[in-house]
Amino acid sequence: MALAYHRIIVKIGSNVLTQANGLPDQSRIAHLVEQIAGLKKQGKEVIVVSSGAVAAGRSLVQVPEKADAVTSRQVLAAVGQVKLLATYAELLGHHELLCAQVLVTKEDFRDRQHYLNMQNCFRALLQNNIIPIVNENDVISVTELMFTDNDELAGLVASMLNADALLILSNVDGIFNGNPQDPAAELIPEIELTTTSFSSFVTTQRSQFGRGGMITKCHMAHKVAQLGIAVHIANGKTENILPRLLNQEVVNTRFLPNKTASSKKKWIAHSDLAAKGAVQINAGAKAALTATGKATSLLPVGILGIVGTFQKGDIIRILDETSKPIGLGMAEYSSDKALERLGHQNQKPLVHYDYLFLTADIS
């Protein structure tokens, strides 16, 4: 039976779009576009998060060897992004489809107003039957401003748009319980929400042309699944991978989704960089917040201390007694008022459950 996904994020990795020499694989790009056009004909909404700008740049310009890595990446991305989008536009045009370029940085996700503006733009594109082609703006994203990789960006976009599914196309069939090159390693078809440790069975090898690795993919996929969005990791080099994946005719790894969270909670889940301060809570408060099947807000009686300063509406980190981060939340009032109510009973919650996101690796 076909998977009933309507709004789908398709993330295409560098190793899917490139040849062994690092240059773009035009025939594979054309095949993927043909599949995307097929999904559109079925009435599905498709958002593409595509790597490949740097690879496209390599096909057009040769950066001097003496240039530093950041400058080289900026030049290749600036030139290559034009070619990458032109390629998508031309190929989609053969199917009478339009695409739009959306270049983003981490900064665009830190501010609530910027986030809502970007969300509105995506919605307007979809309403006009236009396929957004999303990529990190590598021209201005350097060092600490960069996403871990486009998997992280794809997860943010999926959460922002309340997608039904995120399909991550890599150069392997999914997650294995060992090195995929080892014949004894077996593919894991489904990963439950209760799975929290991936380092014990996932290799740390990074992709040849991308920045991320499989552990990065797992942690991102798990976070997105927590927010009610199904995540599939599949081999983008497989013939007709998209329709076959949706018809459950091809091997892949699926991260099982949790119940859908509110749109604001989805923003909070990815807002660690926007946090203004932190609160340290005692063991009793931690136990209450993490109790299975029970919605609990963070009350001042369970708070041991305040770190930094924050105002009402700011994102704050929640730390346990050992200062281990266990979640993020939106403050209902300022750090000054929180200090006044520290440890007191019968007080208004500092973080309401609706605006609280707990990390997946709580133990």
Binding residues: 11, 51, 138, 150
Q: Is residue 230 a contact partner of residue 4, using CB atoms and an 8 Å limit?
A: no
State the alpha helices, DSSP H only, in the chain: 14-17, 26-41, 53-58, 69-93, 107-110, 112-127, 150-160, 214-226, 241-246, 263-269, 283-290, 335-341
Angle at 54 between CA 51 and CA 58, to 5 degrees: 135
* Both tokens assigned to 158: 């999926």
* Both tokens assigned to 288: 């209450």
Token look-up 């390599």 returns 58
Residues at the binding site for ATP are: 11
Q: Per DSSP, what are the bridge partners of residue 134? A: 49, 102
Residues 166 and 150: their CA atoms lie apart, in Å, by 12
Q: In what order do the strands lie in the sheet with 303-308?
A: 303-308, 277-281, 315-319, 325-330, 356-358
* Both tokens assigned to 65: 């060897």
CA atoms within a 13 Å half-sphere pointing along the CA-CB vector of 1: 2
Residues at the binding site for substrate are: 51, 138, 150
